[in-house]
Amino acid sequence: MYHLAFLSGLLAFASCLPCDTSGSNRELLLSLNKDLLRSLEGQDELPNPSVHLALRLSDTHNLPKEEQHLNRLKNSLHNNIQSLLSDSHPVVGSLALYTLALKSSCYDLNTITFTVGDKIETLLTHLKKELEQEKEYISFSQRPLTNYYQYSLGVLALCVSGIRVNNHVANKLIKAVELEHFTHGDIESIDTYAMAAMALQCVKNAGSYVHNTAELEAALMKIQQKLLASRRPDGHMGNEFSTGLAVQALLAMGSLVSECAASMEALRRDARGNTYHNPMAISQLLPALLQKSYLAVQSKDCLNEDNTLVLEPIDPVEVLPSDTKVAVMLEVVPTSGTSSVYHLDVPKGSSLLEALQLLKGKNVGFTFEKESSLWGPFLSVVNGERARQSDRRYWHLSSDGTALTEGIGDFKIEMAQKVTIKNTSY
């Protein structure tokens, strides 16, 4: 763990300086940048626009690899979104991240089109339509078709692309802040507050919101208070995986770097401890450690970029299964409330996904299905029961009563524990 050291006579002066001036911190940023680049190699899943966005917001680049990834986005991700649009699935979050990724590469967004029915329209036109549909759904159901995180992403992507955000669309987000609708289960979603902050700050900067500017200011102030109130003694805001976006939001709203110092140090400390091996997590914290936010996409010109980032070859390391076994009790709680309990021993260090696969292979009545996301695989069906976003339900994961902050592919089982998988509404 790296600790900042201050000479007592320079304490007051140093506390006002940026936190990333030491050689050690520069090396960490470079290492995180390389981790993101390596995550692009041998990808079988859809290319991740969030990773592309973080790479483009970095100070150093490997332009050929970034260009290759941009081409994958324009093909594989584009085709995936086209398919979802054709099937009338809500895609505001995917469209928004795709927009931000393209914008970060200074790509002409007017050349990107999608076809629905016999009508060909631009990416930004579809994004505006998706937001309008979300807004209308909020009007009669008090929630978006997707969620307020994706809704905020949509507002942000339109705004940084220079498109005026409809006052009524922005107002729905402001009202959601006012009514504290940013929850996931019983927990406030710091990620959503952070994304809403960047979206509303962009709207404010654009000067296009004339509905009630006092309401806009009040919403931003409330979000800032929520983020700061969520700060834990260790410096994280919300949890380890929401802090990157929270720091970005505070910086976007005008907070000094020194005011975010404790949270940025928490990110650096855990990054050095390999907490952030998931590319999606790194993609959200790297801009924060670079003292940037997603709003920086708005002014990016892609000129005279540093192209010196080189990936050194790494010898593959074969990880052998541990001989040490740990006992796991798995409890599945469906909507009926009648739980099923299973017992198994797994090699120490196994992922939860590997444990579930072992249990499924024992033919004891446990089954599951998973789907892909930008964060990795997530549970969709357990013992034949589906938890669907359209029903505002998901499989909540906890270990010995504590909610997991990692997904089934990332959470490692290092000791005996009880894992509970519960069909939960939000």
Rounded to an integer, what distance in angstroms lies between the CA atom of residue 348 and that of residue 66?
Answer: 37
CB 122 within 8 A of CB 102: no
- Residue 310 located in a structural domain: no
Res 220: pLDDT:
98
For 412, the enclosing helix (H) or strand (E) is strand 412-413
Q: Does 233 share its domain with 180? A: yes
Rounded to an integer, what distance in angstroms lies between the CA atom of residue 179 and that of residue 379?
Answer: 30
Q: Does 342 share its domain with 202? A: no
Rounded to an integer, what distance in angstroms lies between the CA atom of residue 63 and that of residue 310?
Answer: 10
Name the percent of the chain in helix, strand, coil, to the closest 5.
Answer: 50, 15, 35
Q: Does 222 share its domain with 79? A: yes
Res 15: pLDDT:
35
Q: Does 90 share its domain with 124? A: yes
Res 22: pLDDT:
59
CATH number at residue 156: 1.50.10.20
- Residue 414 located in a structural domain: yes
Q: Does 354 share its domain with 293? A: no
Q: Is 86 helix (H, G, I), strand (E, B) or coil?
A: helix
- Residue 267 located in a structural domain: yes
Sign of torsion over alpha carbons 296, 301, 306, 312: positive
Q: Does 366 share its domain with 238? A: no
- Residue 1 located in a structural domain: no
Give the residue from 281, 299, 317 where a domain finishes.
299
Q: Does 160 share its domain with 219? A: yes
pTM of this prediction? 0.91
Encoded tokens for 249: 């939001």
CATH number at residue 337: 2.170.130.30
Q: Does 289 share its domain with 145? A: yes
Provide the residue type at 127 as one letter: L
Rounded to an integer, what distance in angstroms lies between the CA atom of residue 248 and that of residue 234?
Answer: 18
Return averaged pLDDT per consecutive 10 residues of the chain, 426 residues in all. Answer: 34 36 83 95 84 97 97 96 95 98 98 95 97 96 94 98 96 97 89 98 92 93 98 97 98 95 97 94 98 97 95 76 90 94 95 96 94 91 88 90 93 96 90
Helices (H), 308-393: 352-361
- Residue 224 located in a structural domain: yes
Helices (H), 339-399: 352-361
Closest among 356, 358, 351 to 409, alpha carbons compared: 351
- Residue 69 located in a structural domain: yes
Q: Does 230 share its domain with 182? A: yes
Encoded tokens for 388: 């669907």
Q: Does 174 share its domain with 270? A: yes
Res 18: pLDDT:
40
Res 96: pLDDT:
98
Q: What distances in angstroms separate CA 379 from CA 145, 339, 371, 383, one per listed residue?
A: 20, 17, 6, 11
Count structural domains, the chain. 2
- Residue 222 located in a structural domain: yes
Pairing label, strands 368-371, 378-382: antiparallel
Q: Does 68 share its domain with 121? A: yes
Q: What distances in angstroms separate CA 274 from CA 31, 37, 117, 269, 285, one per listed residue?
A: 11, 16, 47, 9, 13
CA-atom Rg of the chain in angstroms? 22
- Residue 309 located in a structural domain: no
Per the structure, the complete domain to which residue 198 belongs is given by 22-299
Rounded to an integer, what distance in angstroms lies between the CA atom of residue 231 and that of residue 243?
Answer: 9
Environment class of residue 229 by beta-carbon count within 10 Å: exposed (0-12), middle (13-18) or buried (19+)? exposed
Sign of torsion over alpha carbons 381, 382, 384, 389: negative
Res 23: pLDDT:
73
CB 249 within 8 A of CB 10: no
Encoded tokens for 424: 């939960």
Q: Does 292 share its domain with 330? A: no
